[in-house]
Amino acid sequence: MSGDDNAKRVPLSAAGGLALIVLFSFLAVAIAYAIYGWSAIATAHISTFGWIALGVGSAVTILVGGGLMALVFYSSRHDYDR
């Protein structure tokens, strides 16, 4: 643990358990919808350029998200957010 080693773990409350159940339910619905959507367009043809655009767009999105998270952590560690 990087924080206080003497900190006691508090058991999850009923509200916390309910929040986890709701969030995992949202995740399950999102995954089911993604599978349904993916299988519904299985017969659609995507050109080579389309696959390249999809890959580049996905990579750029992940890089931007990672860069923004890095900036958030950097800002937090160097007290720029106060």
- Across the chain, mean pLDDT equals 89
User: DSSP code of 46?
Assistant: -
Could you list the residue range(s) of the whole structural domain that residue 52 is in?
46-82
Q: How far apart are CA 43 and CA 49, in angstroms?
A: 17
Helix residue spans in 1-81 (DSSP H): 14-40, 48-77
3 occurs within a structural domain: no
Same structural domain for residues 60 and 39? Answer: no
Give the number of domains in the chain. 2
Phi, psi (5° rounding) for residue 5?
-70, -20
3-class secondary structure, 13: coil
Q: What is the CA radius of gyration of the chain?
A: 21
Percentage of the chain exceeding pLDDT 90: 62
Q: What is the mean pLDDT of residues 46-69?
A: 96
Same domain, 18 and 38: yes
Q: Flag whether 66 is in a domain.
A: yes
User: Global pTM?
Assistant: 0.52
- Residue 6: pLDDT above 70? no
Whether 15 and 40 map to the same domain: the answer is: yes
Report if residue 15 sits inside a domain.
Answer: yes
Q: Are both 55 and 68 inside the same structural domain? A: yes
The predicted-structure confidence for 13-41, as pLDDT tens digits, reads as follows 999 999 999 999 999 999 999 999 988 88
